[in-house]
Structure 1
Amino acid sequence: MTYQRPAFEQVTIAHGGSTVTLRPTLRAAVTLEARFGFPAMFRALEEGSFTIISEIIRAASSPVQDAAAFLSGIAGKPLSSLISSARIPLAELVSMFMPAPDPKAKQVSASGKPVTWSDFYADLYESATGWLGWTPEQAWNATPTEICRAYAGHVAKLKAIHGSGEEQGRDHEHDPEQAARNVADGLDPDFDRNALRALKAKLKGAQ
């Protein structure tokens, strides 16, 4: 069965009678990408690094205090069991830090300068708080996909009101939807596409 990315992005890890729910929020994405980077996170999941696995759980836990309770509950228990339970859900979670492709978006050739993840996430925050009018807390707690979808809806609304021939929003290089397409097309030099392909193959085989 082909892996289907859920419409509502969150994962749950169950281990030893305890569960923790994780959300790929913008806050978690910014924190973990800056600290480790995507290649290191995918590699840690492949190799079973408890240190990075626990950091991902702490950063993405919703609510935050659930992570401490979940991790304290595994003290003295074999780590191999937790790693086995957490590997696939966390791989899905990390992949959700990258916005899902918009099925309604027009297919265009990527252009413009390369976009780093830190710049891309900063642009998402600016879009959420500046253009969408969200509070900082709302922006940090939303996922990258949610912000991209909301921004796309905002642009569609402006076009419906003012006409599609007008330039809406910002310059091309600051458009988060275009930035996401740039990243998806491999324009981000910090992104390890081989790791993503390996992740997809692993998830497909796990179904």
Structure 2
Amino acid sequence: MKFGADGIFVELAGEAHELRPSLRASMRLVRRHGLSGLLAAVQDFNTIVITDMLREAAITPGLLLAEIAASGLGNVRSRLTGPLAQFALAIAGIDPDEPTPSKPASGKPADPEQVFAQLFGIATGWLGWAPEEAWNATPAEIIAAKSGRTDLITDILKAVFGTTEKTGHAPEVYTTERLKQIEEQGFDPAFNREALHSLKSRQ
């Protein structure tokens, strides 16, 4: 699911309920049914798997059966198949509105559970989020947050150390000899302290 995309909603009992592909819901559903199993369940309108999908999205599963009893299976299936398919595709990391789908990666396909575990590690380690925040975030939100933090750190490093465009030469390579020289001098000549002070003054 693309970051910032509109939410996915299903209407049950006259109310709109959001199908949010959180990291926790994605991990649990893939572990139990697999990505292909989720898509097949939506296509076949397997109510057992679909009620599990609703449960993981914090929607009372009984609402589905009540809706079928009130409106009929055909009516409910025609209304819910679209958003349920969107939900399953979002868990798989597929954007159906993407005009040019990305080329499949070469080699062995990534294990979805492993990918979700890595995203959890990024959220709780690299980003410093609490575990509950990580589980409630969507994969797209975690990826966007990591990208933003990486850009911020890159900008800070550029401000402090400069870039090859500004200096006209490659960055300093910190060899053993170079580190020894810095230790003897007591400072690193390549470190731009004026830029660091300027950066701090703008905070």
* TM-score (structure 2 length as normaliser): 0.65
Q: In 2 relative to 1, CA 84–9 (structure 1 residues): closer, same or farther, beyond 3 Å? A: same
Match of 2:35 among 35, 38, 48: 38
Higher relative contact order structure (alpha carbons within 8 Å, sequence separation ≥ 6)? 1
Cα contact 2:23–2:138 (8 A) shared by 1: yes
Q: Which amino acid aligns with 2:155?
A: A
| Equivalent residue number for residue 93 of structure 1 | 87
| Equivalent residue number for residue 7 of structure 2 | 10
Deviations 1:22-51 (A, max 9, x none): 111001100101111111111111111111
Q: Which amino acid aligns with 2:79?
A: S
| Equivalent residue number for residue 81 of structure 1 | 75
| Equivalent residue number for residue 197 of structure 2 | none
Cα contact 1:50–1:79 (8 A) shared by 2: no
How much does 1:111 deviate?
7.2
Deviates more, 1:73-82 or 1:37-46: 73-82
Where does the alignment leave 5 or more consecutive residues of structure 2 unmatched? 165-170, 172-203
Deviations 1:142-179 (A, max 9, x none): 0000001101111111111124899xxxxxxxxxxxxx
Cα contact 1:129–1:139 (8 A) shared by 2: yes
For the pair 1:138 / 2:133, whether they are aligned, the reply is: yes
| Equivalent residue number for residue 67 of structure 1 | 60
| Equivalent residue number for residue 19 of structure 1 | 16
Cα contact 1:20–1:70 (8 A) shared by 2: no
Structure-2 separation of matches of 1:152 and 1:25: 18
Structure-2 separation of matches of 1:42 and 1:110: 21
Where does the alignment leave 5 or more consecutive residues of structure 1 unmatched? 167-207
How much does 1:115 deviate?
2.6
* TM-score (structure 1 length as normaliser): 0.64
Larger Rg: 2
Q: How many residues align?
A: 155
Question: Over the residues paired in the alignment, what is the CA RMSD in angstroms?
Answer: 3.2
Cα contact 1:18–1:73 (8 A) shared by 2: no
